[in-house]
Amino acid sequence: MATIAEPIALGGPRGAGLRSFVRRNPTIVIGAALLSVVVALALLAPWISGDPFTVAPVNRLQSPDFSNFFDPGKANRFGTDNLGRDIFARTIWGARVSLMVGISVALLSTSMGLLIGLFAGYFRLLDAIVMRVMDALMAIPGILLAIALVALTRGSVPVVIFAITVPEIPRVVRLVRAVVLTVRERPFIDAAVSVGSRPAKVIFRHILPNTIAPLIVQATYICASAILTEAGLSFLGAGVPPEIPTWGNMIAQSRLFLARAPWTIFFPGACLAIVVLAINLLGDGLRDRLDPRLARRMR
Amino acid sequence: MDAIAPLLRVDDLRTHFFTVDGVTRAVDGVSFHVDPGETLGIVGESGCGKSVTALSILRLLPPRIGRIVGGTVSFEGTNLLDLSIAAMRDIRGNRIAMIFQEPMTSLNPVLSIGEQIAEAVRIHQGASQADARARAEEMLRLVKIPDAAKRLDDYPHQFSGGMRQRVMIAMALSCNPQLLIADEPTTALDVTVQAQILNLMIELKERTGAAVMLITHALPVVAETCQRVIVMYAGRIVESAPVDELFDNPLHPYTRGLMSSIPRLGSAARQKRLTEIPGIVPDLRKPIPGCAFAPRCGLADDRCRNEAPALIEHVGGHRAACFKAGAPA
């Protein structure tokens, strides 16, 4: 009796409460906790940090000073870069760009991929055409496509988001299509057709909900990889314009001063690693949780 | 018998499957009718074409592979095979409903029971969400699920196999269909639950006046529930008769074989060993010139092997497709 997706009570038996949820799902909790700290910092950036753009050559390459850490006016909590800009402020403001790119790419590519995948999986004729297009897209390295797109237009956050989204779509389409192909053969689809449901109803009401669990998991991985790709593009100078603080831009500019001022690269680098780790932990936890076969084994 | 127009008349239906290994004649010239309000049983072993016949009536065959290559299926006077896809959708679930074999997998795991029962009502009667829900609750109560109002929001995994089959029956009957096709509705269930489900089906059929086409491989089920029986073998009808007549006086050697392979209670029968039908079902990809059962039949002669027997009437409504019909084994 293998079921693809049963609704799962996330907390386990009722009444067991939050503590049991934490104990059963450490990866989800750790991932979500780390991520919410970063999200909170990013959201609170204007209130807890100074201006990330202010250039103060007098104060350049100051080392981190953790005293009076909670004073928002202090510019060298994480030290300053070669132009005297506040690393703390730039790191936090950079989180905004990273998270925005990650979340937008995840949402856009999963929703586009979901739509294309549903139709490709259900209509066999469409499948042959769509999947060849997807194969072609997948044959192009994502970062090359992104560099080309950014080079053709002028680098900005929306362009970067678009450029990272396009190569992710085929992966989502493949996943969704695979789920649709298995779900459409299951008897409840015949049952739905036998009561007179139209194809659109069958697709959106009966098949779509079955794709959500794997899709959520895939979305977290896409989010993490989009953040990394954005940083990579910025590092290569093919992403967001250099004056806008992003972790990739910061790392790119800091590498010249690596020996003299390692903090300039440490903080954005560490943040990047932590966010990607947090999202991946969350994704792993969700995958275990949302896959009933795995979830049952772990109970 | 001819006084009332039949609800469903299937005439020379031929459904073939086009596979890489060749053409399988799953249904090969089947003709029968269902009168309004009657219960017709279709029996036969696995692969004899019972289910394909049912799927052909509703035109639910797997696309591209399965095709109806001949015959007519007229339901209340209209040939279903001529209808547009949209017109066919209006029939499905509304005028003709179907119950499938596997209650465990015939319900969508991610939708609540209430939503699934309400679906047909919403499609065919354009009912509002509240009305459809009320109807779903009514149906759930009708199939004797306790606490119907509460259970509407439950999901299939919270129901047992028998309960799910009840839900399937509720779904099928929600639009008051004229014909209910039940494809082995009790095969996947416990024996005790089987009886409950069959009784429920018969009770509801009586209440709604629907005709039932009960597809099964279990003769006892037919004996208990049906008025007329059709026995299928290798895509053809080999015998059809009123249920008592069939059990009292089986004419076709295949039907007799089926009956003697079932254990019976009673002192005289107890000592006798059960007999099986020797051989296996013929390969439907190869043309069968004579009687399809001939290779397994103890009575078969050259004529049986070379000439296909027609389904001819012997006594009042009892037809058999056999040259040796009724001959002692």
Q: Is A279 exposed, middle or buried (0-12, 13-18, 19+ CB in 10 A)?
A: buried
**Long-range contacts formed by B22-26: CB under 8 A, 24+ apart:** B22/B285, B23/B285, B24/B284, B24/B285, B25/B235, B25/B284, B25/B285, B26/B52, B26/B66, B26/B235, B26/B284
Asked whether the beta carbons of residue A196 and residue B102 sit closer than 8 angstroms, the reply is no
pLDDT tens track for B50-65:
999 999 999 999 888 8
Question: Radius of gyration of chain B from Cα atoms?
Answer: 21
Q: String of b and e for B220-245 (b: at least 16 CB within 10 Å)?
A: ebbbebbebbbbbbbbbbbbbbebeb
Nearest by CB: A188 against B60, B106, B157 = B106
Query: Which residues have CB under 8 Å from A90's CB, separation 6+?
Result: A52, A81, A245, A250, A268
Please report residues of B whose CB lies closer than 8 A to that of A124.
Answer: 63-64
* C-alpha span between B218 and A189 (Å, rounded): 26
Among A5-14, A178-187, A235-244, B120-129, where is mean pLDDT lowest? A5-14
pLDDT tens track for A81-90:
888 888 898 9
Confidence at residue B269, expressed as pLDDT on a 0 to 100 scale = 53
Cross-sheet strand order for the sheet of B78-79: B22-34, B8-19, B66-75, B78-79
pLDDT of B83 above 90 = yes
Asked whether the beta carbons of residue B111 and residue A209 sit closer than 8 angstroms, the reply is yes
pLDDT of B193 above 80 = yes
Whether B183 and B54 have beta carbons less than 8 Å apart is answered as yes
Structure tokens at A277: 């780790």
CB of A140 within 8 Å of a chain B CB? The answer is: no
Sequence letter at residue B150: K
CB of A204 within 8 Å of a chain B CB? The answer is: no
> Regarding beta strands B236-242 and B39-43, do their DSSP bridges make them parallel or antiparallel, or are they unpaired?
unpaired
Confidence at residue A1, expressed as pLDDT on a 0 to 100 scale = 38
The arithmetic mean of pLDDT across residues B227-245, rounded, is 93
The arithmetic mean of pLDDT across residues A190-213, rounded, is 90
Whether A61 and A258 have beta carbons less than 8 Å apart is answered as no
CB of B251 within 8 Å of a chain A CB? The answer is: no
CB of B62 within 8 Å of a chain A CB? The answer is: no
pLDDT-based confidence at A2, cuts 50/70/90? very low
* C-alpha span between B233 and A145 (Å, rounded): 61
Structure tokens at B298: 């103890």
Whether B156 and B164 have beta carbons less than 8 Å apart is answered as yes
Q: Which comes out higher in pLDDT, residue B220 or B27? A: B27
Asked whether the beta carbons of residue B106 and residue A190 sit closer than 8 angstroms, the reply is yes
Among A49-53, A65-69, A202-206, A262-266, where is mean pLDDT lowest? A65-69
Structure tokens at A275: 């966010």
Query: Which residues have CB under 8 Å from B96's CB, separation 6+?
Result: B57, B58, B75, B177, B178, B179, B180, B181
Asked whether the beta carbons of residue A201 and residue B123 sit closer than 8 angstroms, the reply is yes
The residue length of chain A stands at 299
pLDDT-based confidence at B282, cuts 50/70/90? confident
Confidence at residue B259, expressed as pLDDT on a 0 to 100 scale = 86
Listed in order, strand segments (DSSP E) in B123-227 are 179-183, 211-216
Asked whether the beta carbons of residue A195 and residue B120 sit closer than 8 angstroms, the reply is yes
pTM: 0.79
ipTM over 0.85: no
Report CA-CA distances (Å) from B259 to B107, B268, B313, B328: 34, 16, 21, 15
- The residue of chain A nearest to residue B104, with distances taken between CA atoms, is A1
pLDDT of A112 above 90 = yes
pLDDT of B329 above 80 = no
CB of B262 within 8 Å of a chain A CB? The answer is: no
The single-letter DSSP state of residue B92 is B
Nearest by CB: A187 against B64, B105, B157 = B105
Question: Radius of gyration of chain A from Cα atoms?
Answer: 23
Nearest by CB: A187 against B63, B100, B120 = B100
Q: How far A6 CA sits from the closest chain B CA (Å)?
A: 6
